[in-house]
Amino acid sequence: MPSLPDESARQTLLRSFLAEDIGTGDITTDATVSGTQRARGELIAKTPLVLAGIDIFAEVFQLIEPATLAEICCPDGEYLQPGQIPARITATARTLLTGERVALNLLQRLCGVATMTRKFVQAVAGTSAEILDTRKTTPGLRALEKYAVEIGGGRNHRKDLSEAILIKDNHIRLAGGVATALSAAQAAKGQVKWLEIEVTNLEELSAALQYNPDVIMLDNMNPALVHEAVKRVWAHDPERKIRTEASGGITITNVRDFAEAGVDWISVGALTHSAPAADLSFEIEPII
């Protein structure tokens, strides 16, 4: 099951976001709303979306006021329709007003990532291909965005540079070629979860296969060329221990073509760098 960052890391992150937004104080709220006024906020889905980050949403308010009451009505991963209420938050009115922007910004971002991921996953349903994210994440939000990808049904690629070796075009160019780069990388293979290399044509693929990397990324190839490349990998490796990954130029309209070409993984940077924020509102009413 997808898991959020640990509590300490999560709260450090959320406190920094609150500090950025609040500055020296919420002057408008403090000037217009009584400190004793209680209120309840209803979170409302405005468009269809996949819910992701609802506990983070509530936690923002709880960091401002530990006595905040959160009624979570829907779990992460649920597909919401317009008008559905996934959560109600009860606290002082000042807490709700001060925390709403940070809480909403985060939730809308994470729901947007999860919703886009779900669309890609559904587009390849029935094939053996898995949808993966990339490191094209928002600085500071990687752990949360990758959590949202998993909630949407996708899988995480590398969480950071230390998890796996991924030899890309610039590495190849600077190392002096595919063979040279892969040969040099063998010494570090035992330190990582997998060794992967990016190739852009069949000649580079042939060179890469001589070293039997764990994963071969077929970068910026059209589906027909990807299909040919996959066949060559299977011919070289009948037991299919080498995984293939399509990357570059993947859209919601062509992703199934890549999946049907036979790859194991399809990495999509757009899941995190181009997902539109989901539309939710937070309506606050006083408790008399």
- The dotted CATH code for 164-268 is 3.20.20.70
Exactly one of 219, 243, 245, 256 is catalytic; which is it? 219
Q: For position 2, what pLDDT does the model report?
A: 87
CB 164 within 8 A of CB 125: no
Task: Give me the pLDDT at residue 1, please.
Answer: 73
Encode pLDDT of 92-122 as tens digits.
999 999 999 999 999 999 999 999 999 999 9
DSSP label of 162: T
The residue ranges of the chain whose pLDDT is under 50 are none
* Active site annotation includes 168: yes
Report DSSP state, residue 197.
Answer: E
Under 8 Å between Cβ of 76 and 25:
no
* Catalytic (active site) residue 189: no
Q: What is the pLDDT of residues 227-262, one digit of tens each?
A: 999 999 999 999 999 999 999 999 999 999 999 999
Per-residue pLDDT, 197: 98
Fold exhibited by the domain 7-121+275-286: Aldehyde Oxidoreductase; domain 3 (3.90.1170)
Q: How far apart are CA 238 and CA 194, in angstroms?
A: 19
pLDDT of residue 282: 98
Q: Are 166 and 128 in contact (CB under 8 A)?
A: no
| Residue 231 a catalytic site member | no
User: What's the pLDDT at 3?
Assistant: 86
| 196 counts as catalytic | no
Q: What is the pLDDT of residue 158?
A: 95
Q: Which residue has the tokens 């709880």?
A: 62
- 146 part of the active site: no
Domain boundaries, the chain: 7-121+275-286, 164-268
Residue pair 244/233 in contact by the 8 Å Cβ criterion: yes
| Residue tagged active-site, from 196, 198, 245, 264 | 198
The catalytic residue among 40, 136, 189, 232 is 136
Q: How much is the pTM?
A: 0.96
Instruction: Exactly one of 46, 101, 135, 155 is catalytic; name it.
Output: 101
